[in-house]
Structure 1
């Protein structure tokens, strides 16, 4: 595993956290246009960064499509990363 992979994975987790929080907020404040714009911006960024990660390092989740042979098990597991690299 290299530094770029670890940093991308950390960024994906950070963006995922923002998406979870903005989703919860929007559940109770559905008319907050600023929050919705923030959520949508991060949703777009999440999609882009996940695509970049999966193109370089393989699938992040086992319910995504995989190349042959099954690639989900090839990468390091989340607990094997040294997140201090970023």
Structure 2
């Protein structure tokens, strides 16, 4: 697996963890440990997405940063294997 796919896989794992933590916190809103874990994984995901964008381009359209043109369509889609 190349570095791009490894980083994308890491982001997907963080997404899954955050969704599960979200569901847990919906039923246990006072759980400080779960809230701390949610915040930790939110930060890890943010850092992984920032690294992905910096190295491979935007992961989502809102991360396209070029002010001159719409660059979202320039590279293969993040989920394409190339």
When normalised by structure 1's length, the TM-score is 0.81
Residue 63 of structure 2: SS of its match in structure 1? coil
Distance in 1 between the 2:44 and 2:11 partners? 9
* Greater relative contact order (Cα < 8 A, sep 6+): 1
- Structure 2 residue runs without a partner (length 5+): none
Superposition pairs of residues 1-86 of structure 1, within 5 angstroms: 3-67=2-66, 68-77=68-77, 78=79, 80-81=80-81
Give CA-to-partner distance per residue, 1:37-81, whole Å, 9 cap, x none: 111110010111100000011111112342244221223231x22
Moved over 4 A (4+): none
Gaps of 5+ in 1: none
RMSD in angstroms over aligned alpha carbons?
A: 1.8
